[in-house]
Chains A and B, each alone.
Chain A
């Protein structure tokens, strides 16, 4: 079974631009979560989607948004990029609400200049 895939793997953007990252979960997994990893803050939860509904959201500004499609694929969007948004963005998928072992994708490394 294929693992979690994320596209693109690397991205360079300029301050003020917006960016969309994509995540395809493991086949059959219905929950997708997003995390941001930076050297200073470590791994932090962004949001989680299940059956196209956001179930939980971390402490990030409204510039960070996401959505999930009917095939469980998910996208996250960051608008008005800031230098501090430079990070590794990781997506994870899990099977069900009560079977929540999470499997991570390879990540998208975003650099904001």
Chain B
């Protein structure tokens, strides 16, 4: 199956800092999503971004499909940004998301 690698595995930030999370994948994809998992387990959609760049408030994401990676940027981090961030990809005609292991972000006040 497709391999999805996220880095770093853990990230500790001071409130107000900026950060970049990376997702590498091993095959061509037709779907890439970033999620934030809250403490209760709910996966919150951040971006649906098979290619290109998108921004939503303090978060932005870029996917370079030809080079098989995606980046999630968090600017001016807040304590509410803490949690696990997952990248998930779907190969063409696969109908299933393959998840990375996640990046655990801790933002300290």
- A-side residues, CB < 8 A to B, are 31, 33, 35, 37, 42-45, 48, 50, 55-56, 58, 88, 90, 92, 97, 100-107, 109
Contacts and interface: CB of A to CB of B under 8 A. Distances in A.
Contacts of A97: 95
Interface string B68-100: 000000000000000000101010001111110
Using C-beta atoms within 8 Å of the partner chain, give the interface range for chain B: 20 to 34
B33 A102 contact: yes
A50 B42 CA distance: 23
14 contacts: A37-B41, A42-B101, A43-B86, A43-B99, A45-B96, A45-B97, A48-B95, A58-B96, A92-B43, A97-B95, A101-B48, A104-B42, A104-B43, A106-B41
Interface string B31-42: 101010000111
Interface of B: 30-31, 33, 35, 40-43, 45, 48, 86, 88, 90, 94-99, 101-102
Contacts of A100: 30-31, 90, 95
Contacts of A104: 35, 42-43, 45
A44 B43 CA distance: 14
A21 to B, nearest CB: 14
Q: List the 4 closest A-B pairs by CB distance, nearest first.
A: A43-B99, A104-B43, A45-B96, A101-B48
A107 B42 contact: yes
A107 B41 contact: yes
Contact of B96 (A42, A56, A105): A56
A45 B98 contact: yes
B99 A56 contact: no
Contact of B31 (A42, A58, A101, A106): A101
A56 B31 CA distance: 16
Chain A CB count within 10 A is highest, among B41, B42, B95, B99, for B95
B43 A90 contact: yes
A101 to B, nearest CB: 4
Contacts of B96: 33, 45, 48, 56, 58
Chain A CB count within 10 A is highest, among B35, B40, B42, B102, for B42
